[in-house]
Amino acid sequence: MRISLAAFFTILLAFIAPLALVDACTRDEHCVPSSCCHATACVDTTKVPAPNCTEVMCTGGCHMESLDCGGECRCSKSQVCSPYIRTGMPPDSSPQHQWVDLSNQPPAAPQKIIRYVKRLRK
Protein backbone atom coordinates (compact mmCIF):
# COMPACT_ATOMS: atom_id res chain seq x y z
CA MET A 1 0.00 0.00 0.00
CA ARG A 2 1.49 3.30 -1.08
CA ILE A 3 0.44 6.53 0.47
CA SER A 4 1.25 9.91 -0.98
CA LEU A 5 3.31 12.38 0.98
CA ALA A 6 0.38 14.81 1.17
CA ALA A 7 -1.91 12.09 2.54
CA PHE A 8 0.73 11.11 5.10
CA PHE A 9 1.03 14.68 6.40
CA THR A 10 -2.76 15.07 6.46
CA ILE A 11 -3.06 11.97 8.64
CA LEU A 12 -0.15 13.10 10.82
CA LEU A 13 -1.74 16.52 11.28
CA ALA A 14 -5.02 14.89 12.27
CA PHE A 15 -3.24 13.18 15.16
CA ILE A 16 -1.13 16.16 16.22
CA ALA A 17 -3.70 18.96 15.93
CA PRO A 18 -5.70 18.00 19.06
CA LEU A 19 -2.54 18.39 21.15
CA ALA A 20 -2.40 22.07 20.23
CA LEU A 21 -5.82 22.58 21.82
CA VAL A 22 -4.57 21.47 25.24
CA ASP A 23 -3.66 24.33 27.54
CA ALA A 24 -0.03 24.88 28.40
CA CYS A 25 1.08 25.09 32.01
CA THR A 26 0.16 28.29 33.79
CA ARG A 27 1.23 27.40 37.35
CA ASP A 28 4.13 25.52 38.88
CA GLU A 29 1.63 22.98 40.25
CA HIS A 30 1.07 21.75 36.67
CA CYS A 31 4.70 20.59 36.47
CA VAL A 32 5.96 17.37 38.06
CA PRO A 33 9.07 15.21 37.65
CA SER A 34 8.88 12.96 34.58
CA SER A 35 9.77 9.80 36.50
CA CYS A 36 9.46 8.54 40.06
CA CYS A 37 13.19 8.17 40.73
CA HIS A 38 16.08 10.44 39.79
CA ALA A 39 14.09 12.46 37.23
CA THR A 40 16.03 14.72 34.89
CA ALA A 41 13.02 16.30 33.17
CA CYS A 42 9.53 17.53 33.95
CA VAL A 43 6.10 16.83 32.48
CA ASP A 44 3.09 19.09 32.16
CA THR A 45 0.08 17.48 33.85
CA THR A 46 -2.28 19.53 31.68
CA LYS A 47 -1.02 17.43 28.74
CA VAL A 48 0.03 14.06 30.18
CA PRO A 49 -0.71 12.30 33.46
CA ALA A 50 1.87 12.43 36.24
CA PRO A 51 3.79 9.20 36.85
CA ASN A 52 2.17 6.88 39.40
CA CYS A 53 4.76 6.46 42.14
CA THR A 54 2.61 4.80 44.80
CA GLU A 55 4.38 1.44 44.56
CA VAL A 56 7.85 2.65 43.65
CA MET A 57 10.85 2.63 45.98
CA CYS A 58 13.82 4.76 44.99
CA THR A 59 17.39 4.72 46.22
CA GLY A 60 18.18 7.43 48.71
CA GLY A 61 21.15 8.77 46.79
CA CYS A 62 21.40 12.32 45.55
CA HIS A 63 22.09 12.06 41.83
CA MET A 64 23.70 15.29 40.70
CA GLU A 65 22.23 15.28 37.20
CA SER A 66 18.68 14.85 38.47
CA LEU A 67 16.06 16.74 40.46
CA ASP A 68 17.05 14.76 43.60
CA CYS A 69 19.27 17.39 45.19
CA GLY A 70 16.78 20.16 45.82
CA GLY A 71 15.69 20.68 42.23
CA GLU A 72 12.08 21.24 41.26
CA CYS A 73 9.81 21.57 38.27
CA ARG A 74 8.41 24.98 37.39
CA CYS A 75 6.28 26.46 34.66
CA SER A 76 8.57 28.81 32.73
CA LYS A 77 7.60 32.16 31.22
CA SER A 78 7.14 30.39 27.88
CA GLN A 79 4.58 28.07 29.57
CA VAL A 80 6.82 25.00 29.39
CA CYS A 81 7.55 22.75 32.35
CA SER A 82 11.28 22.97 33.04
CA PRO A 83 13.66 21.50 35.60
CA TYR A 84 15.30 24.06 37.90
CA ILE A 85 18.29 23.34 40.10
CA ARG A 86 19.69 25.36 42.98
CA THR A 87 23.19 26.72 42.65
CA GLY A 88 23.46 28.00 46.22
CA MET A 89 22.99 26.36 49.58
CA PRO A 90 20.92 28.93 51.58
CA PRO A 91 17.63 27.79 53.18
CA ASP A 92 14.61 27.41 50.90
CA SER A 93 13.03 30.68 51.99
CA SER A 94 16.21 32.68 51.50
CA PRO A 95 16.05 35.41 48.85
CA GLN A 96 19.74 34.66 48.15
CA HIS A 97 18.83 31.45 46.35
CA GLN A 98 20.02 31.40 42.78
CA TRP A 99 17.92 29.31 40.41
CA VAL A 100 19.10 28.07 37.06
CA ASP A 101 16.46 27.43 34.39
CA LEU A 102 17.69 24.49 32.33
CA SER A 103 14.99 24.85 29.67
CA ASN A 104 16.98 27.30 27.55
CA GLN A 105 20.42 25.79 28.11
CA PRO A 106 22.27 23.74 25.51
CA PRO A 107 22.68 20.04 26.39
CA ALA A 108 26.20 20.50 27.79
CA ALA A 109 25.12 23.20 30.26
CA PRO A 110 23.91 20.90 33.09
CA GLN A 111 27.40 19.39 33.40
CA LYS A 112 28.87 22.88 33.75
CA ILE A 113 26.30 23.75 36.40
CA ILE A 114 26.99 20.54 38.29
CA ARG A 115 30.73 21.29 38.32
CA TYR A 116 29.91 24.81 39.57
CA VAL A 117 27.72 23.44 42.37
CA LYS A 118 30.43 20.96 43.40
CA ARG A 119 32.92 23.83 43.65
CA LEU A 120 30.47 25.78 45.85
CA ARG A 121 30.18 22.85 48.25
CA LYS A 122 33.95 22.60 48.81
Question: Rounded to an integer, what distance in angstroms lies between the CA atom of residue 11 and that of residue 7?
Answer: 6
Residue 32, in any domain of the structure: yes
Residue 42, in any domain of the structure: yes
Residue 73, in any domain of the structure: yes
Give this prediction's pTM. 0.53
pLDDT value, residue 108: 47
* DSSP percent split of the chain into helix, strand, coil, nearest 5: 30, 15, 55
Residue 78, in any domain of the structure: yes
Low-confidence ranges of the chain (pLDDT < 50): 17, 21, 89-91, 97, 107-109
pLDDT value, residue 43: 92
Residue 14, in any domain of the structure: no
Residue 9, in any domain of the structure: no
Residue 113: domain span: 23-121
Residue 11, in any domain of the structure: no
pLDDT value, residue 119: 62
Residue 91, in any domain of the structure: yes
Q: How many domains does the structure of the chain reveal?
A: 1
